[in-house]
Structure formats: C-alpha cells, structure tokens
A and B are shown apart, each in its own frame.
Chain A
C-alpha cells in the first residue's frame, strides 16, 4: 500500500463519523414525536378492509366521513398500545354523544389475539379495520404502532400523533383540535 493510500485508510473512521454527525444534526431539527406526515391536509387514502369484529363486513374510507374521527393504529403485540388503551377508553366515552368517533386500524396483528385484547381490556373503537399485512398501513405511512390520525368530517387528515396517547396529549393537543374541527362546518 502506498503511503497516501494508507493515510486515506486511516481517515475512514473520521469520514464515517462525519456522516453520522450529519444524520444526528438532521435529527435534532426534527421532533420525532411530531413527524409531519405528508398526508396532512390531504384526503385519507382509499382502502377496503374487513372489519376486525365482523370479518365479512368491509370497511372503507367512506365509513369515516360525516364525523370527526380519531384513527388509532394499534396491535395486541405492542406494549405502548396497551399502555394507551385506558386513555382511549376514556376518550371514546367522551365521544359517545356522537360528536366524534374512535376508529381502530388493527395493524400487523392476528385476529384472535386482537379480539382477545379487546375482550380483556374493553373496546374503545366504533370499529377496527383489520390490516394484518400492512396493506393500508403502508398507504397511511404508518411508522410504528401506536399512531393516531385525526381526520375531519370530510375525510381530510388534520394531524398525526406518534406514540401513545395519554391524558396529557389528549388534553393539550388532540382534544382542542377535535373541538375545533367539530365546530367547523
């Protein structure tokens, strides 16, 4: 190996580190919890999936229209989903008057396990679409469960929350937005 080649070899770790720093500084400029979804402001992707509870029933984007919806991506295998479950139950209770609905997108899950979880912990969802193969999850740009989309009456996605929904997130971020969307039109 010539001398200059050898010197270049020893520069590799530094170069790799520079690349890493580049990515990390990019990461600092973005908040991973508030990833701006490219879908915000756009209509929800079209989909047709069997309902979790009634496999013979097809649910589509049309089922979301007419009411403000919280679309919650969940799975029985995801610990954070179980953690947010209690909060979702309470939120769903608040929407019982028909002002908004909580919809589930059961993601990369098995039907039996998902049903078992709802049976044990309660079912906050008006219905859950069953998406075991990530067909619709892909269109929604699902990054990891749990995620919660807020969709207005016309089926336009207004907000996306990544990570579990808790009392604080609901009170400070989601609830005001839902109220605002409810007031519109």
Chain B
C-alpha cells in the first residue's frame, strides 16, 4: 500500500509540474494575472506530493519492506536505523527522488520568499523550475522508479554498500544535492529574466542570496565527501580527481565565479550577459555531473548505477534544457546593454580577471574529465588523464587566483589608481615577501619550492584582507560603531572576509600536506615498533570484535612521542554479514596541526599485518577552509539589504542599473 501511495504521489507531482511549467509562463506572456497567480500554489502542491512520496520511501526502508526492489537491493534488517534512512539515497533511484524532493523544496521556498518580486518574474521563475522538475520526474517514472515491486519478495535485503554505512556519507549526498539543485534557482531567475528581456541590478539582487546558499551547501557537500574518502577508503587521500568528484567540483567553481559576477551586476550593473551565462553554466554543469555519474559514459570508482537507456534519456534532457537555454541566451543577450563602465584598474577588472581564471579552471577540469572520451572519439587512440595532469593544471591557475584576490579586495569600484593600490598594499606585500623568503630557507621548506609559494600566497590573502578591514574600520569613531558595522550593515562584507580566509586556510593545508606528509606501508608483527615522522608506533596485534551488522579484527597501535604515549589507535578490518564485503576502518588521531592515521592492510602469516601508517600535517585545514567558505556564504546572506528587500512588500523592485 505504502509503495503505491508513494508512486501515485510521484505521478501527481509530475502532473502539477507539467501545469506549473506551462500555465504561469503562458500567463506571463499574455498578461493573464490569474494564470500567473497559479504558480505559487502549484509549487506548494508539487512540494507536498514530493514530500509524501519521499516519506513513503523512508517508511518502506524503516519497515524493511523488501517487496520493493530498491529497498531489497539497498537495505537489510540488520542495518542500524540511521543507515536505513540514509540508505534511501544510497543508490540511483532514491538519490533521484531526493533530488526531485529538494527541487520541490527550493521551488516552494522561492514561492514563499518572493513577495517583493514582480508577479510575472515569479511566474516565469517557477515555470522554469517546473520544467526542470518535469524532466527529472519523467526520468524517474520512466527509467528508475524507486517504488517498483518484486514478487515473491526476498526474505532479506542485499544491504547497503558498507562504504556508505558511515555518518559522513549519510549527510554528504543531501548536502551535495542541495547545492546542485540550488543552482537551479539562479538558473531559473536567469532564464526568467532572459524571457522577460529585463536583466538589471534587481535581478542580480534577487538571485544572489539563493546562489550563495546553494553554493554554501555544495561547499559543505564536497568537503564532507572529501573527508569521508580520507577516513573511509583507508588510503588517506582526500581528493582523487575522479570523474564523479570532478562532476561536483565543476559546478562549484562555476558557482564561485557566478557569486562574484552577480556582485558586480548588482552593484555596478556590469557583466550582465556574462552573469546570465554563468548562471546557465553552473546549473548545466550540475546536470552534466548527474549525466556523467548516471550514464556510464566514463568509468569511475564511484559509478554505482550505470545504464545506457538512462544515459540516452539524460542526454536528451541535457540537450533540451542546456541547448534551449543557450539558444535563448544567443537570441536575447545581444540586446542587453553592457551597463556600468569601468577602467582597467578597478574592482570590476580584478573580479573579471578572477572570473576568467575560475572559468579557465572549470574548463580544464572538464577537459581532463572528458579527455579519454574526446581522444577516442577523434580516433587519436587512448589516453588516461591522471592525478599529475590535474594537479599541474590546478597549481598553474590557482596562484593567480590568490594573487588577484588580494588586490581585488582593497580596490575600488569603477576607477582606481595603481599608485594608491600599491601604497595601500605595500605592507601586506612586504610581509608576504618576507614569508616567502623565510620559508624559502631549507630549515622550513626542506627544499620544496611549493612551501614558500603556498605560504606566501596564504599570507598575501590574509594580509590584504586585514588591510581592507583596517581601511574600513579606521574611520569608525568608536568600538560601538565598529560593532554596529559588523552586526547590522555589512554582513556581506564580513561574510566575504570569512570565506576568503577559508581560501587562505585551504592553501595552507594543501601546501603543508603535499610537502610534508609521510606515508609508510609496513609489515608489522605483534610487538613490532617503528618510527614514522619522529613518532614511535607499537603494534600490539589484533583481536576479534563485533558490531551490529559486522564482525571485525581490531588492531591496537600505541603511539609515542619520545617516552610519552600520545594516543592509542584501533584500526579495524570489518566483514559485513549481509554482503560479506570487507571494509577498512582507519583509526585517526586528529589534530589541528597534524593527523596520525593508521589503517590495517591485509593479514599476513603469524598474526602479522600489513599496516599503513600515515602522518598528515595540516590536513584538517583543507576542510576547515571549506567550512569557513561556507560559513562566510551563510553570513553574507544574512545581510540586511536582502531582508529589507523581502520586507518591502508591494514596491516593484526595479532598481535602475548604476551608470558611470
């Protein structure tokens, strides 16, 4: 009964989505206000039915209803309750339903928080979101129905992939999907604006908070995925340049560019058509990511559901959505005025430079990801683009991003003076060069060139932002005024500051980890001890242990710094009952400045094991940096100007773009 209810709710949601994608749009084109007014109730209704459908699937998993194919394939009676819920999005069908559910949630939020927007704009935006929803619901109902039944039902389910039975991975997909799907809002605003032919500062202001929220979710999602790979895969790596990872990174970089470009469009009315193109790009890359993961076009360690018919459907869908948007863009964008003029030395220029660098980086990641496919299609034979290539490209572009970031933050809009910039930044520049020279000393760098470069870039970002903060606060009369600045008027400024410090922290983490990590694979018998990175590791052997749905060999490793014992680590090798899969659970002693990472390899003769002992300096800074970026994004959208914009009910928010 419950599966049928869920299935039926899904069909009803599709029906509403169809109406939502047509009626309000038709209303907005013909000026029919009644039709336009249907947009909001339709969005709420669609969300309601998607929520019902999703709740049904959760209920199916919680009650172990294995007459549903999807539950039988991805759950098990022994699975702990929390993981029964996360198993709902543990594979293809369920993650699509989560996608659709989030899309409904975003659309409903747009409907709820768009009181200040012109009714035609709301109608068009929700119609575009409805179209995206139609595509996904059709895809699900035609090729990947999560409610399909089997008869007779199996006595027990096949279990959730043990790799996914982990708190980090339980929340990683929802975060990631919130980000992916969130970009659909910026996309819908952009398409709505193109349809209406009105791209102005007001449009940018509406899009900004939505884009920033989506971006913050995506940031957290990617960081969680990276953190999970680090501790769960047992190899201590945090990024693999795997196609699926790249699929999440590309929309993130494009989204980062979009956030900055939106700032220029809102404040200065410039880059309008470029910003629209970025909004289309960011969402297109989210869709492309889905395609790459689901279609089996590229091999990947992540590819858990691949099926060519699904691939054909998604490709057709991509063609309609992205092709249609870009055609609309080609038709409408030439008529958009170029808006606010600016000189070569101005904040606009630096933001444009950073935008171009970010897009270059996106293009390189895309090229690297698709290179095997492109080579083969052109008959050039086969290549594999690995780690080294991506790393090289990343390192070739990011230093310039960091450099312009520092200049951009202190520069003025519209027109600035090179001499003034130099004067203002001379202390930051001097100190950064100092960091460069000091860390160049072999004592600190160990002869690795990236150490001084990375640390100096991080220092440059930190110091230029401190300069900007100093310039901002030194005219404030008293501490009270400073506090008011922080609390009330300029949260978006402080959010920017925080996010950029996140970039600095990320660079520090990346530099230190890549330069100073120690990785040792060893054979150790009980009683053996070994010295790694100045610490002594004593292996005391393993003992059997047991969890709710697995049995394990649990090792005991004592770690000493000199004579003092720092910690005791218990890495495990687990065997899950239902699937008989073995899983490596690394034991990590985490710290702000270093992680000690021990995982069990394979059992060898006489109680000996192959052990992986890793010393990972500053690895936490990578995720800390990502977290700071996300927090910065969240802080920025609490800025008062977005709140006042939503309170000003009834006033048409059509600001005139600023002109030089």
Contact = CB atoms under 8 A, between A and B. Distances in A.
Interface stretch (A18-26, A96-104, A149-157, A177-185): A18-26
A32 B299 CA distance: 6
Contacts of B312: 28
A120 B334 contact: no
User: Number of contact residues on A: which range applies?
Assistant: 35 or more
A116 B273 contact: no
A11 B370 CA distance: 22
A33 B377 contact: no
A120 B315 contact: no
B364 interface: no
Contact of B301 (A26, A30, A80): A80
B601 A30 contact: no
Contact of A24 (B297, B333, B523): B297
Nearest to A122: B602
Contacts, number: 98
B319 interface: yes
Contacts of B297: 24, 27-28, 32
B382 A120 contact: no
Contact of A10 (B237, B319, B334, B376): B334
A79 B519 CA distance: 14
A172 B172 CA distance: 34
Q: Which of A13, A26, A79, A143 gathers the greatest number of chain B CB atoms within 10 Å?
A: A13
Contacts of B333: 10
Interface residues of B, number: 48
Q: Which of A17, A24, A26, A120 gathers the greatest number of chain B CB atoms within 10 Å?
A: A24
A23 B374 contact: yes
A78 to B, nearest CB: 9
Given A7-B334, A17-B326, A32 B296 contact: yes
Contact of A31 (B233, B296, B334): B296
A27 B297 CA distance: 5
A26 B295 CA distance: 12
Interface of B: 233, 235, 237, 240, 273, 277, 280-281, 284, 291, 295-299, 301, 308, 311-312, 315, 318-319, 322-323, 326-327, 329-330, 333-334, 370, 372-374, 376-377, 381-384, 386, 521-523, 601-602, 604, 610
Interface of A: 3, 6-7, 10-11, 13-14, 17-18, 20-28, 30-33, 35, 79-80, 86, 116-117, 119-121, 141, 143-144, 162-163
The 10 tightest CB contacts between A and B, nearest first, are A144-B384, A27-B297, A14-B326, A120-B610, A143-B382, A26-B377, A10-B330, A32-B299, A11-B330, A27-B373
Given A79-B237, A144-B384, 16 more contacts: A14-B326, A21-B318, A21-B319, A23-B373, A24-B291, A24-B373, A25-B315, A26-B377, A27-B295, A28-B308, A31-B296, A32-B372, A86-B602, A120-B602, A120-B610, A143-B383
